[in-house]
Amino acid sequence: MKLWKKNLYVCWFGTLVTAIGMSQIAPIMPLYIRQLGIQNISAIEQISGIAFGATFIVSAIFSPIWGYAADKFGRKPMLLRASLGMAIVIGSMGLAQNVYQLIGLRILQGVITGYTTACITLIATQTEREHAGWALGVLSTASVTGSLLGPLFGGYMDEILGLKFAFFLTGGLMLVAFIATLLFVKEEFVREEKKVLSMKEVWNQLPNSGLIVTMFVTSFVLQLAYYSIEPIITVYITQLSTNMTHIAFISGMVFSASGLASIIAAPRLGKLSDKIGPQKVMLVALIVAGVLFIPQAFVKNPWQLMALRFLLGFATAGLAPSINTLLKKITPDVLTGRIFGFNMSAFYLGTFAGSVFGGQIAARLGLTYVFFITSGLLLSNAIWVYFKVYKKVNVLQNQNKRGKLEWKI
């Protein structure tokens, strides 16, 4: 088996566990905060929001820093640092004595994150050009799967073994990821002893900085669109359902439907982007996703919404692999970690912004406007991608005699 495939399998497992660790606390956070001594409902809601959002905000700040470290010291050391660090920090959350310690540990989790960024960078730089889209598509399914399983995992562990065990088990899984990375991930990294460039100097040397900015914005909009429904889905399902039983379960199924479709479609769309170009897959995916948000505002029952969310997942599945593939193709290898770090920052900020955005729009304008405005953002992004990415990439391809993207400095 080729080296990049072996590394892909280990990174897939580590990324899956990391995503579970990032998301599993959401359903159990209020319960755990109450267990730590806070009884006031309003205080629980406020502290839950702070503890949940803090990790993503801090992760957005530190992702570029760890991306730079990956370029300088290698990707495997960053994988080891992040996996061992998260094993210790997440496991320690089960030992928290008060909410201040819990919030502090959540912030520290955001600081030491970077496993996913290092995985993307490692796979992107090691994988053969003709298989890059497929490999990054497979890797993206780990994040989606972990994000889906995390809340279910946390809630299930609470019912079976108690709140604290969810943290201990996730920490244990991260320790397994650390050991697997240590033993099985191989990297031939040659450190270049050159003057460390500032981000401004790096940016000035990038030949296609406009394309890169568009990729960052697209990552942000993708996550915002994906999570905009999260804060309102239970309320929306309640309005659509004539049977008030199993609302939480149905809401979980509806929200997870798009993720399930993404798991199925991402490797296939990644392979398709290798054949026809990531810019084409990205443009079509944005348009289809934008259109599919509109009928979600007019559904008559939860099952219609679930079907539309499932179709939405097939569209959005093509975005993350296409973004990562294009970033790989237009970024010098020595800067890949930093660029992917910034892209992951946009990803985390979009996750946080989507959760806030959906609730605010629903409260001020009504539930259906969440779908209309999100659709508008996706379609506007598609227009921007058409002019700034699709047309420019086609021109660059035509200028290249071999018809391939080779624009690295």
Q: List, for residues 210-228, the tens digit of each pLDDT value.
A: 888 889 999 999 888 887 8
CATH of domain 205-401: 1.20.1250.20
Name the pLDDT band for 374 (thresholds 50, 70, 90). Answer: very high
Q: Buried (b) or exposed (e) across 274-307, using 16+ Cβ within 10 A?
A: beebbbbbbbbbbbbbbbbbbebbebeebeebbe
In three-state form (DSSP H/G/I as H, E/B as E, the rest C), the secondary structure along 121-178 is: HHHHHHCCHHHHHHHHHHHHHHHHHHHHHHHHHHHHHHHHHCHHHHHHHHHHHHHHHH
- Delimit the domains of the chain by residue range: 1-183, 205-401
pLDDT surpassing 70 at residue 272 = yes
What mean pLDDT comes out for the span 75-79?
90
Residue 175 near residue 84 (C-beta atoms within 8 A):
yes
Q: What angle do CA 307, 253, 19 make, to 5 degrees?
A: 115
Q: Please count the other Cβ atoms lying within 10 Å of the Cβ belonging to residue 360.
A: 12
Tell which wins on pLDDT, 89 or 20: 89
Smallest CA-to-CA distance from 331 within 211, 239, 229, 251 is with 211
User: For residues 323 and 114, what is the distance between their CA atoms, to the nearest angstrom?
Assistant: 18
pLDDT at residue 406 in the model: 47
| Cα-Cα end-to-end distance for the chain | 31
Tell which wins on pLDDT, 175 or 150: 175
Residue matched to tokens 């201990």:
168
What mean pLDDT comes out for the span 391-402?
66
Fold (topology level) of 1-183:
Growth Hormone; Chain: A; (1.20.1250)
- Quick one: 401 exposed, middle or buried, by C-beta within 10 A (0-12, 13-18, 19+)? exposed
pLDDT surpassing 90 at residue 268 = no
Q: Buried (b) or exposed (e) across 28-44, using 16+ Cβ within 10 A?
A: bbbebbbebebeeeeeb
54 three-state secondary structure: helix
DSSP state of 198: P
pLDDT at residue 408 in the model: 46
Name the pLDDT band for 26 (thresholds 50, 70, 90). Answer: low
Tell which wins on pLDDT, 111 or 274: 111
Name the pLDDT band for 231 (thresholds 50, 70, 90). Answer: low
Residue 92, C-beta contacts closer than 8 angstroms, at least 6 positions apart: 105, 167, 171
208 three-state secondary structure: coil
Residue 174, C-beta contacts closer than 8 angstroms, at least 6 positions apart: 17, 18, 21, 83, 84, 86, 87, 90, 91
Tell which wins on pLDDT, 306 or 407: 306
| Whole-structure pTM value | 0.76
Question: Residue type for 154, please?
Answer: G
- Angle between the 319-330 and 278-293 helix axes, to the nearest 10 degrees? 150
pLDDT surpassing 90 at residue 311 = yes
pLDDT at residue 45 in the model: 65
Q: Please count the other Cβ atoms lying within 10 Å of the Cβ belonging to residue 194.
A: 8
pLDDT surpassing 90 at residue 290 = yes
Residue 116 near residue 344 (C-beta atoms within 8 A):
yes
User: For residues 336 and 221, what is the distance between their CA atoms, to the nearest angstrom?
Assistant: 22
pLDDT at residue 142 in the model: 86
205-401 shares the fold of 1-183: yes
